[in-house]
Amino acid sequence: MSDEQIKSLVTGATGYIGGQLVPELLGRGHAVRAMARKPAKLDDAPWRNRVEVVPGDLTKPDSLTAAFAGMDVVYYLVHSMGTSKDFVAEEARSARNVVNAAQAAGVRRLVYLGGLHPGGIELSRHLSSRVEVGEILLESSIETMVLQAGIVIGSGSASFEMVRHLTDRLPVMTTPKWVHNKIQPISIDDILYYLAEAATADLPESRTWDVGGPDVMEYGEAMQIYADVAGLRRRVMVVLPFLTPTIASLWVGLVTPIPAGLARPLVESLECDAIAQEHDIDAVIPQPPSGLSTYRDAVVAALKEDAGHHGGRRHLLRFSKVAPQ
């Protein structure tokens, strides 16, 4: 697909990833349409006057007809985690609504951001739902690229904010056993690069591709590196293997601003390793020209960004209801 005059629809434009993908696409010459359940939330976006903003709700098929009309590429960046009691069923319905709307509108490509996960094990509700959404999209007649990423490192990413707030506030902490699980973080700049490139990449077939940064580490190690970058002393962690996801999510809710409805699925997802299983993305999308950012460099960049936006003071994140990763 040529990138000349590409018309891209970004769903979930009020979310963390979607809100930053819009200017990335604009910089590549795309004509961008931003979709949100409440378009007024985008009034203050710095790119508002450069895009078309439309209302749309993936759970309401009739609302998608006008939003999808005339689009070449649709970015699926919405999820119901933290906003619906049965987000698994709601996400599956939303995915089918997207397929139907995209087929009716003649959309050429779907791009979806899912989560890294191991194969052959029972996944958390959050990760299994991500997998199911990707499968629904891939089973459609529309060319589909599913990118699967782990923790996104950037100021405002829910998964990174959990690392940050736990580390900031707890010099000594009792932790669940998942602090020893492996993760493969990716910087916000790198995941935006992959998402933007996905609009025009030459796909041999519709399928999933794992994407991740160059570093694989334990979750607890990620917290220690963050502490070092932030100028904090090394954290003391006492692992309590019997801490259940429910107790762990309540613990996260007590010491971070992450809402309970979002904390629970995030915590459940840490029960397994989150590292790239396949490493063939380079055959479809080459690495960024400057190379992939290391975890430490991504943390440095996130803290600099936060300081620049908030006068040098760390802020308590106000989580969007639609904020993948």
The enclosing domain of 191 has a CATH number of 3.40.50.720
DSSP letters spanning 233-268:
PPPEEEE-TT--HHHHHHHHHHHSS--HHHHHHHHH
Residue 268: the pLDDT is: 75
| Statement: residue 187 has pLDDT above 90 | yes
**CA of 216: how far to CAs of 105, 145, 219, in Å?**
41, 24, 9
35-49, 237-251, 300-314: least confident range: 300-314
- The tokens describing 10, both together, are 């970004």
Examine the pLDDT at 3 and tell me if it is beyond 50. no
Domain-located, residue 220: no
Residue 178's pLDDT band (cuts 50, 70, 90): confident
For residue 58, what are the CA distances in angstroms to 76, 102, 153, 186, 227? 10, 12, 27, 27, 39
Residue 299 lies in a domain: no
Q: How confident is the model at residue 309 (pLDDT cuts 50, 70, 90)?
A: low
Share of the chain above pLDDT 90, in %: 62
User: Is residue 247 pLDDT above 60, yes or no?
Assistant: yes
Q: What is the pLDDT of residue 312?
A: 39
In a domain, 73, yes or no: yes
For residues 38 and 173, give the distance between their C-alpha atoms in angstroms, rounded to a whole number.
Answer: 39
Is residue 26 situated within a structural domain? yes
CA distance 164 to 314: 10
In this model, does residue 160 exceed pLDDT 80? yes
Is the per-residue pLDDT at 195 higher than 90?
Answer: yes
Q: What is the pLDDT of residues 59-80, one digit of tens each?
A: 999 999 999 999 999 999 987 5
Q: For residue 1, what pLDDT band results from cuts at 50, 70 and 90?
A: low
User: In this structure, how many other beta carbons lie within 10 angstroms of the beta carbon of residue 130?
Assistant: 27
Residue 144 confidence (pLDDT) above 50: yes
Res 33 pLDDT > 80: yes
Length of the chain: 325
Domain of residue 80, residue span? 7-152+186-212+272-289
Does the pLDDT at position 107 exceed 60? Answer: yes
* pLDDT above 60 (res 84): no
**pLDDT value at 161 more than 60:** yes
- Mean pLDDT (the chain, rounded): 87
**21 confidence band (pLDDT: 50, 70, 90):** very high
Split into its structural domains, the chain has a count of 1
- Overall average pLDDT of the 183-204 stretch: 96
Is the pLDDT at 200 greater than 90, yes or no?
yes
Count the Cβ atoms, other than its own, within 10 Å of residue 316. Answer: 9
Q: Is residue 15 part of a domain?
A: yes
pLDDT in tens, 255-287: 788 776 777 777 777 878 888 877 789 999 999
Question: Highest mean pLDDT range out of 40-54, 119-133, 158-172, 300-314?
Answer: 40-54
Q: Alpha-carbon distance 128 to 163, whole Å?
A: 23
Q: What percent of the chain has pLDDT over 70?
A: 91
Mean pLDDT lowest among 31-45, 80-94, 124-138, 189-203 = 80-94
Residue 44 lies in a domain: yes
Residue 247 lies in a domain: no
Predicted pLDDT at 85: 63
Task: Examine residue 105 and state whether it is found in any structural domain, yes or no.
Answer: yes
pTM of the model: 0.90
